[in-house]
């Protein structure tokens, strides 16, 4: 095996990314406080060629030095919008035909590995690092998706959760 060079990776330019057909997934960040998490979510959205990110409530927006540390330029390629209230973002997505899922540990949640996808356009709501997705938002979602966990913590970093869920849904969509 040989590690590939940067040139061999055939990375898209920012312009090519913006004009490319996207995977119809929007990430909704509900009052996320860590700018490192926000930047990491931008990188994940770029890596998977996602439709975009909705930054809601207290979630910081680019440009910001702390977001850029982990985004590494993905704030320039990935489309994003800010909403003062998460409910407005969710309602907007529903009007645009998205099926909205909260990623949360909840009663009657669907385990990610058991998720059966029939939706063509998907929005995934990820919540605050401490309190998770607000119950009022969960109440408006089609379902809650839960990542199966087997250890003692039952808690995964937000940006890691985004990567796990997006990878699995993209795998199922293909």
Instruction: Please state the domain extents for the chain.
Output: 20-147+159-173
On whether the 20-147+159-173 domain is CATH 3.40.1280.10, my answer is yes
Buried b (16+ CB within 10 A) or exposed e, 149-162: eeeeeeebebbebb
Is the pTM higher than 0.85? The answer reads yes
| Of residues 163, 123, 109, the one with CA closest to residue 30 | 123
Question: Tens of pLDDT along 19-76?
Answer: 999 999 999 999 999 999 999 999 999 999 999 999 999 999 999 999 999 999 999 9
Question: Are 141 and 102 in contact, with CB atoms under 8 Å apart?
Answer: yes
Mean pLDDT score of the chain: 96
In this prediction, residue 119 carries a pLDDT of 83
Q: What is the C-alpha to C-alpha distance for residues 2 and 152, in angstroms, rounded to an integer?
A: 38
Predicted confidence (pLDDT) per residue in 73-127, tens digit: 999 999 999 999 999 999 999 999 999 999 999 999 999 999 988 888 999 999 9
Tokens 């996602």 belong to: 50
Residue 174 — very low, low, confident or very high, per pLDDT cuts 50/70/90? confident
């Amino acid at each position: 095996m040989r590690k590939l060079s940067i040139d061999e990776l055939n990375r898209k330019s920012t312009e090519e990314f913006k004009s490319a057909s996207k995977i119809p997934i929007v990430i909704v960040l509900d009052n996320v406080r860590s700018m490192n998490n926000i930047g990491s979510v931008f990188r994940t959205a770029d890596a998977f060629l996602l439709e975009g990110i909705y930054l809601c409530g207290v979630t910081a927006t680019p440009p910001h030095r702390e977001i850029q540390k982990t985004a590494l330029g993905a704030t320039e390629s990935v489309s994003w919008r800010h909403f003062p209230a998460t409910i407005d973002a969710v309602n907007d997505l529903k009007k645009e035909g998205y099926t909205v899922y909260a990623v949360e540990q909840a009663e009657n949640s669907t385990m990610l590995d058991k998720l059966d996808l029939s939706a063509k356009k998907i929005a995934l709501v990820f919540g605050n690092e401490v309190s998770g997705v607000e119950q009022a938002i969960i109440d408006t979602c089609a379902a809650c998706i839960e990542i199966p966990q087997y250890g003692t913590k039952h808690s995964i970093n937000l940006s890691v959760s985004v990567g796990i869920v997006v990878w699995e849904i993209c795998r199922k969509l293909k």
